Chains A and B, each alone.
Chain A
């Protein structure tokens, strides 16, 4: 076991998978020589050479499409788009071409590629560098969607994503890169589609993922002092969604709060709650609650930005509301 940063965990996953499988390539804007803005691809060029690790021009739509084509023809590209905001440039290739390829070819073809990116607010990065867009992709059949919160999960899930047969959108979080956590030495994977109980409790279930896992754990501590036992479930992958873990926890607690940074409207939270209402209505002992970002473009001003995403206090208040009803 070693304590390493989230970004280092991702970096190790890439090193290990590239060592394991000579078909794994890495490309994207500024990922080779500079090692990526968040240093996730640092050292790969030196270790694996420019045939396997290279920089692209700023042609996102086409280099992501190129990754898809290469995947179909037998290599395993791991491409990076610096901000999830820029994945909007690649929607046709990702959704119309890559995500549907396996289905439309009647199962003949596969496009096993990984698109790494990162989202969420930073500190004053404004409207086009702060979004949480996972709900757009969650809607798309054929894409797997991974959003890890800890170094351990980041490493294990990236390795699983690279080994997976489907295209995977792997959304990191800019505020997590420097967080630290324990990661075992040597090879392991975290399977896609398995949620993780990050804290067990008996009064209320919080379902969350990515950076909000940290905020929910902090809220759970505050709530513990108020005598409320909170179970925090980290989805880790949104697609496939681990319904079983959600329903199991709810069976125990009877109370449900869903928390994400993305806006509430049209968000993952609404879908999870609908699923629960359909499948486990009678497990509920209280009204449910969605806590999420405000419905707005993220403003540049840092004090306004803070108003737009859930705080620990918002989560505590939301849980109290569910507990008191």
Chain B
């Protein structure tokens, strides 16, 4: 793989990491409120998957969606502004963290309902196929969402209509505090693909390069023959379910193991091993830092939505 591509992935993954840390910081200072589900520890998935896409491909995101949006190339200034409920945010402060969407870049949006986006992704696949396009749709969802009826119904619909949807299950081993072993008897979630007569693969969800390489193949096949694939990426949260959950139920040893496979460090190490000089890595890190600082300042200084405009807007509903 080209070194520049890996450098780009490192920058993306690091941006996600630093964005989440900055968001947590702003939350603690009271500028962000409501629910906030950090993508910390899972950065490789959005990075590896979306780096294998074209800009006009679609994604459908989840409550843990900041990473997907950043990898899709969203402006982190407008994202952070949304998290603060500001008018300049992507959804003008109407949506917040759980509902970041940017239709201009074909991100149909995060979701507050677990599994809620899965049928919508399937529908986007139907629209692509009907219009004769060759885009693919990435449907992100979690190991918790895979037990919703809508997952089973949607993937079957995508299978029989041969829709260009790639179902990416982010298996972070927990749905809030419920362990994966307590919600399914199968060791690999991709095994469920068999039941729908479609291909399924399970990947190391902490290695963006591996994910990217596999996704390049899956995306190419999807563009050609259409029809869905189920891709499982195994990963782990670096903290509790949301910002106010200390995650006390997560065993220390488990956390230690997964932190030793930190997806951002995995990418950094790979670049170093490939001979990229330390000062070049530092440059990337400084660039990310500057972007984060700029985003924080932009979001803080953005105005609140106007109450009068809001009342006028809803008066016709």
**A interface, CB within 8 angstroms of B:** 29-30, 33-34, 55, 57-62, 85-86, 89, 122-129, 294-297, 299-304, 307
Instruction: Give 15 CB contacts A-B under 8 Å.
Output: A55-B178, A57-B147, A58-B147, A86-B113, A123-B33, A124-B34, A124-B96, A126-B94, A126-B96, A126-B99, A126-B112, A299-B94, A299-B305, A303-B305, A304-B93
- Measured between C-beta atoms, what is the minimum distance from A92 to chain B in Å? 10
Cβ contacts under 8 Å, B178 to chain A: 29-30, 55, 57
The answer to whether B184 and A57 have CB atoms under 8 Å apart is: yes
The answer to whether B148 and A300 have CB atoms under 8 Å apart is: no
Cβ contacts under 8 Å, B93 to chain A: 299-301, 304
Count A-B contacts at CB 8 Å: 109
Determine which of A30, A122, A296, A303 lies in contact with B176 in the assembled complex, contact meaning CB atoms within 8 Å. Answer: A30
Alpha-carbon separation in the docked complex, A29 to B183 (Å)? 10
Known contacts A124-B33, A125-B34: A303-B314 contact under CB 8 Å: no
Determine which of A29, A34, A62, A127 lies in contact with B149 in the assembled complex, contact meaning CB atoms within 8 Å. Answer: A62
Q: Contact mask B167-197 → A, CB, 8 Å, 1/0?
A: 0000000011110001110000000000000
Cβ contacts under 8 Å, A124 to chain B: 33-34, 85, 96
Known contacts A62-B149, A300-B34, A304-B305: A29-B96 contact under CB 8 Å: no
The answer to whether A29 and B176 have CB atoms under 8 Å apart is: yes
Determine which of A127, A295, A303 lies in contact with B112 in the assembled complex, contact meaning CB atoms within 8 Å. Answer: A127
Alpha-carbon separation in the docked complex, A34 to B176 (Å)? 9
Alpha-carbon separation in the docked complex, A61 to B177 (Å)? 20
Q: Given A29-B178, A57-B184, A301-B93, 19 more contacts at CB 8 Å?
A: A34-B177, A57-B144, A57-B183, A58-B145, A58-B147, A59-B147, A59-B148, A61-B149, A85-B112, A122-B34, A124-B85, A125-B34, A125-B35, A128-B98, A128-B113, A295-B314, A297-B94, A304-B85, A304-B310
The answer to whether A129 and B112 have CB atoms under 8 Å apart is: yes
**B interface, CB within 8 angstroms of A:** 33-35, 85-86, 91, 93-96, 98-99, 111-116, 144-145, 147-149, 175-178, 182-184, 249, 304-305, 307, 310-311, 314, 317
Known contacts A29-B176, A62-B149: A301-B144 contact under CB 8 Å: no
Alpha-carbon separation in the docked complex, A146 to B175 (Å)? 29
The answer to whether A58 and B149 have CB atoms under 8 Å apart is: no
Alpha-carbon separation in the docked complex, A55 to B147 (Å)? 13
Cβ contacts under 8 Å, A59 to chain B: 147-149
Cβ contacts under 8 Å, B113 to chain A: 85-86, 89, 128
The answer to whether A128 and B177 have CB atoms under 8 Å apart is: no
- Measured between C-beta atoms, what is the minimum distance from B192 to chain A in Å? 13
Alpha-carbon separation in the docked complex, A86 to B96 (Å)? 19
Known contacts A295-B314, A300-B93: A58-B307 contact under CB 8 Å: no
Chain B residue nearest to A59 (CB atoms) is B147
Chain A residue nearest to B114 (CB atoms) is A58
Cβ contacts under 8 Å, B86 to chain A: 301
Cβ contacts under 8 Å, A33 to chain B: 177, 249
Cβ contacts under 8 Å, B96 to chain A: 124, 126, 300-301
- Measured between C-beta atoms, what is the minimum distance from A35 to chain B in Å? 10
The answer to whether B175 and A29 have CB atoms under 8 Å apart is: yes
Cβ contacts under 8 Å, A60 to chain B: 148
Cβ contacts under 8 Å, A300 to chain B: 34, 85, 91, 93-96, 99
**In the complex, the 3 A-B pairs of residues with the closest C-beta atoms, listed nearest first:** A300-B96, A128-B112, A124-B34
Alpha-carbon separation in the docked complex, A124 to B31 (Å)? 12
Alpha-carbon separation in the docked complex, A30 to B240 (Å)? 14
The answer to whether A294 and B314 have CB atoms under 8 Å apart is: yes
Cβ contacts under 8 Å, B98 to chain A: 126, 128-129
The answer to whether B304 and A58 have CB atoms under 8 Å apart is: no
- Measured between C-beta atoms, what is the minimum distance from B238 to chain A in Å? 19
The answer to whether A129 and B35 have CB atoms under 8 Å apart is: yes
